[in-house]
Amino acid sequence: MVASNAAQAQTFGVGVNSDPNLGVVASASSGDTTFTINAGTDQVSKSGNGARISSGSARGKVTVSCASGACTGKKVQVRVGVSGSPTGRARALTGFNVASGTLAVSSVSGTNPLTFVINSFPAGGGYFWLGATYPIAGDDSGKATGAAGSGFAISAVLSGKSFGAGTGSTADATVYRKLSIVNDTPLSFGRIVRPTSGSSTATFSATNPQRVITGSGVWLNTPSPTRAKYTITGEGGAAVSLSIPPSFTMTGPSTLTVTTDTTAQGAPVLSSITGNAGTYSFYVGGAMTLTSSTPSGAYSGSYVVTVSYN
């Protein structure tokens, strides 16, 4: 009998086809962010100030196989629990959830460990979906960014038999530090004398910061105009997307429209490499048109620059 069970055991197995995987996430500046992968919907929710950057599939796919007819129609009991030590900014998984695939699951109990039953094992086997609750440490943790993993173990036992199977794997993530942007200097046009007739366009370009004015308008020497300078800080080597408005309005005695330009091109990449802090700096300049009837006085306005990881 023992020899027979040993032979059958060789045909019964558990394998992780794909790990639960958050893809790329940005951690919070402080505190953990907890991401929950829903096995049934493949959606990811979160609690905390971090963010998921990736949008692809996150749930894991686990197969239970049996090459002999000894398993067909039998009940299989499965257990999933935390295993090993987390790496990178991963914390230990705090729970699991499961959903039927080609294997119908029932009698689900607990989250860590999670146990459930496959009531009628199909010929050859099949798969189920696995989700997890996955905390990611913040920048204040001092843990390394980049690849992160949190281990789990799965075991399956064929009911009424004296053999089972098991495997271990990791829930994966690539963790970036929090992305931030600072306005180092403002965009300022200084003082301009309106034209005596017609119109004048005053340009202080980001790419070529020379004062240029057309027509009879005059740009005074003081105070000096300044380009807006911005510095982005985040994960080294990461590409980011910038949103800079093409124009904005300044108000005062009347309104003036400013058309913007910038030194930022395409998808900027932060300096350094993954695992280290990186930066990227750029400038914003602008141009505006005055007429001989533009009311004198002080004008001011605002615009919003946003940045996100690609």
Spatial separation of the C-alpha atoms in residues 147 and 171, rounded to whole Å: 11
Residue 200 has pLDDT above 50, yes or no: yes
CA 102 to chain centre: 31
Other Cβ atoms closer than 10 A to 25: 23
Confidence grade of residue 70 (pLDDT, cut at 50, 70, 90):
confident
Q: What percent of the chain has pLDDT above 70? A: 95
Residue 229 has pLDDT above 90, yes or no: yes
Of 7-16, 108-117, 150-159, 224-233, give the lowest mean pLDDT range.
7-16
Spatial separation of the C-alpha atoms in residues 310 and 304, rounded to whole Å: 19
Angstrom CA distances, 277 to 28, 130, 146, 280, stand at: 14, 33, 11, 11
The residues near 221 (Cβ < 8 Å, ≥ 6 apart) are none
Spatial separation of the C-alpha atoms in residues 301 and 254, rounded to whole Å: 12
Token code pair at residue 288: 């505006």
Token code pair at residue 73: 């129609």
Residue 81 has pLDDT above 60, yes or no: yes
pLDDT on residue 71: 85
Confidence grade of residue 69 (pLDDT, cut at 50, 70, 90):
confident
CB 105 within 8 A of CB 99: yes
Of 10-14, 219-223, 244-248, give the lowest mean pLDDT range.
10-14
| Stated pTM of the model | 0.89
Q: H-helix or E-strand containing 3?
A: helix 2-9
Residue pLDDT, tens place only, 253-298: 999 999 999 999 888 999 999 999 999 999 999 999 999 999 999 9
DSSP 70: T
Cis peptide leading into 295, omega within 30 of 0?
A: no
pLDDT on residue 7: 45
pLDDT on residue 163: 64
**What are the E-state strand segments in 38-123?**
44-47, 51-52, 60-66, 76-82, 95-100, 105-109, 114-118
pLDDT on residue 100: 98
**One-letter amino acid for residue 194 of the chain:** R
pLDDT on residue 2: 28
Residue 221 has pLDDT above 70, yes or no: yes
pLDDT on residue 6: 44
Local structure of 222: helix, strand or coil: coil
Residue 191 has pLDDT above 90, yes or no: yes
Local structure of 83: helix, strand or coil: coil
CB 240 within 8 A of CB 308: yes
Q: What are the backbone dihedrals phi and psi of residue 253, each rounded to the nearest 5 degrees, phi first?
A: -60, -25
Mean pLDDT of the chain: 94
Residue pLDDT, tens place only, 122-143: 988 999 999 999 999 999 999 9
Closest CA to 52 of 81, 12, 23, 76: 23
CA diameter of the chain:
107
Of 21-25, 68-72, 282-286, give the lowest mean pLDDT range.
68-72
Closest CA to 235 of 286, 180, 301: 180
pLDDT on residue 10: 53
Spatial separation of the C-alpha atoms in residues 221 and 41, rounded to whole Å: 63
